[in-house]
Every structure is written in C-alpha cells, then in structure tokens.
Amino acid sequence: MRRSITSGRGALTRRSLMRAAGGGALALGGIGVLSACGIPAAGGKDKQAKVSDDFSAKEKQVVFSNWTEYMDVGEDDKGYPTLEAFTKRTGISVKYTADINDNNEFFGKIQQQLHNGQDIGRDLICVTDWMAARLIRLGWVQKLDPTHLPHAYANLAAQFRSPAWDPGRAYSYPWTGISTVIAYNEKATGGRKVDSISQLLDDPQLKGKVGFLSEMRDSIGMTLLDLGKDPAKFTDDDYDAAVARLQKGVDSKQIRRFTGNDYTSDLEKGDLAACVAWAGDVVQLQADNPSVKFAIPKAGYISSSDNLLVPAKARHKTNAEKLIDYYYEPGPAAQLAAYINYVCPVEGVREELAKLDKALADSTLILPDKEMAAKAHPFRTLSEAEEKTYEEKFAKLIGA
C-alpha cells in the first residue's frame, strides 16, 4: 500500500495542480466568472436546493467526480479496489472520473448548469471546504438524508463534525482532512529542528532556503497563527499584517519561493531546508527519506478538508449517500487512507489501518491524536468581496 514520491499519488497529488498555472490568479478568475454571469454572490441570501427526482432504485449507479490520484488503485494501477467492493456488495455501479484539477476550474465547468437548475451529470463531487461553502450558500447542493448515513454520522471524527460553513454536516461529509505543517530536511538544517513560522522567516541560517505555499489560506493562515491571531476570526488589519510579514521575507530573500506541491523534490534534495507543507506529502517523503521531518508549531496549524456533496438535480442521490456512508466504515476508510496518506476523518480506523501498515496507523499526520487535533485551526469562510480582495493582495505578494 505504501508508494514512493515518484509513483502512485505522490507523483501527481490533488494539490500539485491547484496553483500551477499562476497562483492566486486562478482564484481571481473563478470569482470573475461567478460575477460575470449574473450569479448571486456566494455570500448572498441562503437558498435551498430544489429536491430532484431520485432514480436510485431503478438506476443502480452513481457518477462520482474526484481529484486526480485521490482514490486507492489496484495492482499495476488497474481498477479501484474499494469501489469494486462497494459495487459487489450493493449492486450499485460507480462511474468514477478524476476530472477535478482545481476548485475554480471545476466550478467554471458546472456553475452555468447549476445556475440554470440543470443536472450536471454527476451525483457526487469532491471540493475543498471554501468551495463547498460557496456551493451550499448558492443553494446548488442537496441536503443529505441522515437515515442513509449511519456510519458517517457515528464515525465522523470530532475535529470535522461542525464546520462554520456547514454546521452539523447537513450538506457535506469530508473525504479527507488536509493538515498544513512545517517540514524540514534535517541534513539541510544541520540537525536543527524547525518548528515555527518565525524561525522560517527570521533564522539567518535558513536564508534563501525557505518555502511557503502558493495556497493563500495555508500560508496566510499559518502566519496569522504565528502573529497570535485566530484564522477563524481575523480582521482586514490582521490579514494585512500577515501579508506584510511575508513580504518582508520576500524582500530580504529569506523566502526562496512560493510553491504548489512541487516543493517536495526541493525539500528531499535539501534545496529547501524548511517549508510550509501538506502533511500527506510529508508522510510519503518520509517513507523514502528519513531526513525529512515535520513539526507542529506551538501556535497551531491550519486544517482544511476536501468534501463530498450531492449537486442539485443529481439523479442518484440515495446511491451517492450510500457511497459516502461506505467510506465511513473502518475497512474501506483504512484502504483509502493507506493509499492517499492524508488525514482520515473516520474514527475507529486505526486497527484496520495497522493491518495494512503499522507505521501509517501510528502517524499523527494521518490519524491525529487529541493533542494534535487540539492545535488544528480552520481558516474562516470569506465573503465574495473578501475573497477577491485577499486573493489580489496575495497574488501580488507571490508575484502571480
């Protein structure tokens, strides 16, 4: 089940493509599309998606769109074992497509149909929390039926139970959690531990060998925490202070560059001594390079999630709910976590994961313990105006 960084999920993770085409410019383009078509702002009045006819009983199928390399794959990269097991058990076939490379790009594909009240040809989609929040506010996803989700309701980890954008998980369930941490190469740091944003930005021995992420919520969020601010409650002034803090690191050349997932090769080689990183990548790097370490700052870390939602007008809502619930059973959840190496949102999965790989079961990057979970902080949901303003400032910072 373990793969190296050059094969399997590590070779092309769902994060690697998010900002590859120009950092914050992608997000700005998405906002522009949202407004240009006369679609209500994401922060507008809440709406309830119209309940569509459900053909689940007659049509034993479900259409699932997900991120690239975000599903367990069989030997020789053939088939999807957990999906095949689901079909064998339920008789429900799954048309699985890895056609999501970027939240805003995907939004651009589906927003006109959703706006027009049309079926987008998908019963289940997976998007990052801030995009999930937008879709919920626009009324473009369906409320889930808790009677179809007994395992999900019982086994959802406390850390993910009630995000501000979907209290009580009425519309969504997390596919994975994403922890933003500090990673460092012990050889490149001379054996020193790097465990704070202040150290990244101020330690002269790290000058020119520091990386931050081109994902705004991660880099700004971690910097806000270091400044003693709560990413779930920050003000405009707080945001500007975080940008200024990072700008100082850019101007002094302390920061080498802002990256997507491509920081992994530089970190492994030592070209980056330390950086802000995604935990799933760190797990995979450590499997091949014991010099790669991670640290959770005392101030805490940013936690987000990718989430499963049923679009408005989906034809097979009940079947989609059954698939969501299936992945909240410990067995399938363990198989998925062992392959993708991101935070598993399912309680009670440790024993099953240990059967596949004890090292993964012991990793707090995949199964956070209470101490680590207590340090997790979400980045607050932004209004459309805030999102546009903040992304513009961040894009200028990183030179996008």
Q: What pLDDT does residue 48 have?
A: 52
Maximum pairwise Cα distance, the chain: 66
Four-CA torsion 287, 293, 297, 298, nearest 10 degrees: 100
**Could you tell me if 227 and 271 are in contact, meaning their C-beta atoms sit under 8 angstroms apart?**
no
Q: What pLDDT does residue 12 have?
A: 40
Give the Cβ contact number of residue 233 at 10 Å.
10
**Could you tell me if 122 and 311 are in contact, meaning their C-beta atoms sit under 8 angstroms apart?**
yes
Q: What pLDDT does residue 287 have?
A: 84
Q: What pLDDT does residue 104 have?
A: 83
Q: What pLDDT does residue 309 have?
A: 98
Place of tokens 């202040």: 198
Q: What pLDDT does residue 78 have?
A: 86
Q: Please write the tens of the pLDDT for every residue from 276-296.
A: 999 988 988 988 899 999 999
User: Residue 250 corresponds to which tokens in the numbers above?
Assistant: 């850019």
Low-confidence residues of the chain: pLDDT under 70: 1-51, 400
- Closest by alpha carbon to 144, among 320, 347, 305, 315? 320
pTM assigned to the model: 0.82
Calpha distance 216→222 (Å, rounded): 10
Q: What pLDDT does residue 262 have?
A: 83
Alpha helix segments (H runs only) across the chain: 25-36, 81-90, 103-115, 129-137, 150-155, 197-202, 216-226, 236-251, 263-269, 279-288, 317-326, 330-340, 350-356, 358-361, 370-374, 384-398
Q: What pLDDT does residue 50 have?
A: 56
Pairing of strands 274-278, 173-185: antiparallel
Q: Which residues pair with 303 in a beta bridge?
A: 179
Radius of gyration (Cα) for the chain, nearest Å?
A: 20
